[in-house]
Structure 1
Amino acid sequence: MNRVLAATLKRPAAGYPDLAAVHAALQALVADDLDHLPLPGSGRTLERWRALAVVGGHDLGLCKLYEGHTDALAIMAELAAVRPPADSTWGMWAAEPPSARVSVRQDQGACWLDGRKAWCSGASQLSHALLTAWDEQGQQQLVAVDLRQPGVTVTDQGWSAVGMGVTASVEVVFEQAEGTAVGGSGSYLSRPGFWQGGMGIAACWYGAAQQVAQRLHGHCLLHDEPHALAHLGAVDATLAASRAVLQQAAATLDLNPGGDCQALARRVRAVVENTCEQVLSHVGHALGAGPYCKDAHFAQLAADLPVFLRQSHAERDLAALGDVARHALPSEWNL
């Protein structure tokens, strides 16, 4: 599947100019059935993550929409939701900043949404979204909603980004918008797939870092420069570490798909985030300004990746990992 995916992706020479172009690319993948990835923990987790990495190396704006769409499909499958409409494209919107909150009222099997949702990638083009809202008991509830209805207003607010700018992750206002509950109260965070999906994000990051690193590799094939080779050595080492961690994590999920994988997910994300930052630094130091100014694909990845990485909460996430580690047995570090 990943070979077909790589062959299908055709990036415009100057990149995707806007969200409409990115969404058209997503629609093409959906039409070719390239959005139905193996589910996390299904025995083919690594195949799923390789697909995300392929799209991440192609374009992170498209990857953001593709990952959200495929994550929404996986969540609905995990929670036994109604099968999505054919050719629909989905966002997965779960950000919960204090300034933007959606409430949900359930009545006779239907859900009614009111409020504002932030960080809604692709909102003006997608047909549907799976989002978190808060019920009358103060519990979080997943809701599937058709975005093409009068009660949904896609604003132009909340997004002024340069990196990842094409995703247009604006705020969306719901006013008595109708939706369908997916799973029960609290099931979004309590299901095994929550942390499994978090590792899928790391695969997207990895794919972009791998593509950035290839520029340095190509340079070193043509130029015998000691400093560039030293940077390539550092890049090789950190990519190898992330690749090993992702492969091991995929095998672990496939062996125990229903297990608690929070600690594993936090480790994976920390390792891959560090790899991405190291790759961006080493490649930039080795190659200078040239690829940032003359290679449109490289420049776009270099602008997008630091923004996408901020789906990690940096030291806050490391502190959470440290809290897990201090309660674990030191023998877990043994070879």
Structure 2
Amino acid sequence: MSGLDTKSALLKNIQTAIENLIIADQQSTNAFVITDKLRHDILNLLVTYSEQIPHPASGTGNSDDGHEKEDKKNANTLIRWQVLAYVSSIDLTIAKWFESHLDALSILHEVGYDKSTQGLWAVWAAEGHPQPIQYQQGKISGTKAWCSGAHIVDHALMTYRDGSGQSQLVVVDMAQDGIEIDNSEWQAVGMQGTDTATVEFDEVIACNVGAANVYLDRVGFWHGAAGVAACWYGATASLATYLIKGYQQKPNDYKAMYLGQISTALSVTQQYFYHVSDLIDTQANSSHELIIRQLRANVEQLAREVLETVGQALGAAPFCRNAHFAKLSADLPVFIRQSHGAFDLQKIGELSSILANESITLQENIWQL
């Protein structure tokens, strides 16, 4: 990996700061309960690091003195994913909010938004509500569903369809009159704390940003989608560490076998994250849609495998007696449903067929070493 397997200085600083918050909450970093206060304290701390966290595809990492470090060359996307994975290992609600915040800042960066980006942001891009967002003369009306962090975000970056059916982006200051937030439909057990709501807007001031269809058409859409997979992976890897601890405390052959199974799967996926992050940083003008779809599908499968295997190896105890394990194991199956299952596999098949057609000869095998 030529140094890429070494954690970045930024990640180490964030880890230390969060561990200090946990200790200040009079809890042990080895076994802690995420209270609402601690969750929001961690989120607020993370937001202060926003400008230091690299955008995807932003190229070469630099040292604090501005000089390039050889072992961090072209590692910026990986650094971003390391931060997201670490946050996810603590709490997926925080990760959901912070990933959306960072994604919003990266989108605004890509479209050339030159106004202040202070505060907490979110991307709300779900469509299909019967009363969709309408934009007229600098104001929006209508309803947006699946809005996570609805009560806590300062600004929302939202999609809507214009009169021609084209997708547009607007920035909305959430500290306005004319905004109604309804959490009543959110009955989730996993990801319960994400404050996901249906939000109704009535003549609310909004600002159009970017060109038509830029949200989906930009290459950064897929770079951001891989960041979500980094969140899934971080929580999955955190759950897997409980099997290491369980084996070390009370070793037996069955635990060793299960540990070997998931260690192999995790290590392969870890290496694929390194590979994909390098491609994004060194070939920044490509979306890498196929390999990112494959990465997401692989992480989803890995998450389900680890949840099942760790449960088989350790039994009910961690689900019932360990708050951190229980919360992650409840949240992760909900979070990975941001994947689209069979539809994603269908698209991977179609894109693989296109890639094969682009091969130099009909005999070329796209999967051959």
State the TM-score, normalized to the length of structure 1: 0.93
Give the letter for the 2:172 counterpart: V
Q: Show the counterpart of 2:105.
A: 73
* From 13, 17, 22, the counterpart of 1:4: 13
Distance 1:21 1:164 in 2: 16
Q: What is the SS of the residue equivalent to 1:214?
A: helix
Q: Deviations over 1:236-271 (max 9, x none)?
A: 011012111111000001111111311121011011
- After the TM superposition, which of the residue ranges 95-104 and 189-198 deviates more from structure 2? 95-104
Q: What is the SS of the residue equivalent to 2:116?
A: coil
Q: Compared with structure 1, are the counterparts of its residues 275 and 35 closer, same or farther at alpha carbon in structure 2 (3 Å cutoff)?
A: farther
Work out the number of aligned pairs and report it: 328
Q: What is the SS of the residue equivalent to 1:206?
A: helix
Q: Deviations over 1:154-185 (max 9, x none)?
A: 12233111100100111000111111112011
1:144-293 maps to which residues of 2 (within 5 A)? 144-293=171-320
Distance 2:325 2:131 in 1: 34
Q: Deviations over 1:284-326 (max 9, x none)?
A: 1100000011110000000000000000011121111111112
**Is residue 129–residue 145 contact of structure 2 (8 Å, CA) maintained in 1?**
no
Q: Show the counterpart of 1:308.
A: 335
Distance 1:97 1:63 in 2: 25
**Is residue 247–residue 255 contact of structure 2 (8 Å, CA) maintained in 1?**
yes
Distance 1:157 1:71 in 2: 26
Matched, 1:16 2:37: no
Q: Show the counterpart of 2:42.
A: 25
Distance 2:101 2:120 in 1: 6
Distance 2:230 2:260 in 1: 22
Runs of at least 5 residues in structure 2 that lack an aligned partner in the other structure:
1-9, 60-75, 357-363
Distance 1:216 1:287 in 2: 7
Q: Compared with structure 1, are the counterparts of its residues 167 and 38 closer, same or farther at alpha carbon in structure 2 (3 Å cutoff)?
A: same
**Is residue 89–residue 128 contact of structure 1 (8 Å, CA) maintained in 2?**
yes
Give the letter for the 1:66 counterpart: F
**Is residue 72–residue 130 contact of structure 1 (8 Å, CA) maintained in 2?**
yes
Q: What is the SS of the residue equivalent to 1:310?
A: helix
Q: What is the SS of the residue equivalent to 1:250?
A: helix
Matched, 1:95 2:126: yes
Distance 1:28 1:151 in 2: 30
- After the TM superposition, which of the residue ranges 72-81 and 151-160 deviates more from structure 2? 151-160
Q: Compared with structure 1, are the counterparts of its residues 171 and 234 closer, same or farther at alpha carbon in structure 2 (3 Å cutoff)?
A: same
Distance 1:222 1:34 in 2: 39
Instruction: Name the % identity.
Output: 36
Structure 1 position 60, deviation (Å):
0.3
Matched, 1:42 2:73: no
Structure 1 position 100, deviation (Å):
5.5
Aligned-CA RMSD value: 1.6
**Is residue 221–residue 287 contact of structure 2 (8 Å, CA) maintained in 1?**
no
Larger Rg: 2
Q: Show the counterpart of 1:54.
A: 86
Give the letter for the 1:69 counterpart: H
Distance 2:270 2:161 in 1: 38
Give the letter for the 2:152 counterpart: Q
Matched, 1:333 2:367: yes
Q: Compared with structure 1, are the counterparts of its residues 16 and 218 closer, same or farther at alpha carbon in structure 2 (3 Å cutoff)?
A: closer
Distance 2:120 2:259 in 1: 39
Q: Compared with structure 1, are the counterparts of its residues 228 and 334 closer, same or farther at alpha carbon in structure 2 (3 Å cutoff)?
A: same
Give the letter for the 1:42 counterpart: S
Structure 1 position 52, deviation (Å):
0.4
Q: What is the SS of the residue equivalent to 1:174?
A: strand
Distance 1:217 1:27 in 2: 32
Give the letter for the 2:199 counterpart: V
State the TM-score, normalized to the length of structure 2: 0.85
Q: What is the SS of the residue equivalent to 2:366?
A: helix
**Is residue 132–residue 141 contact of structure 1 (8 Å, CA) maintained in 2?**
yes
Distance 2:129 2:346 in 1: 22
Q: Deviations over 1:40-99 (max 9, x none)?
A: 11121100100100101011000000000011001000110133343x101111111344
Q: Compared with structure 1, are the counterparts of its residues 35 and 282 closer, same or farther at alpha carbon in structure 2 (3 Å cutoff)?
A: farther
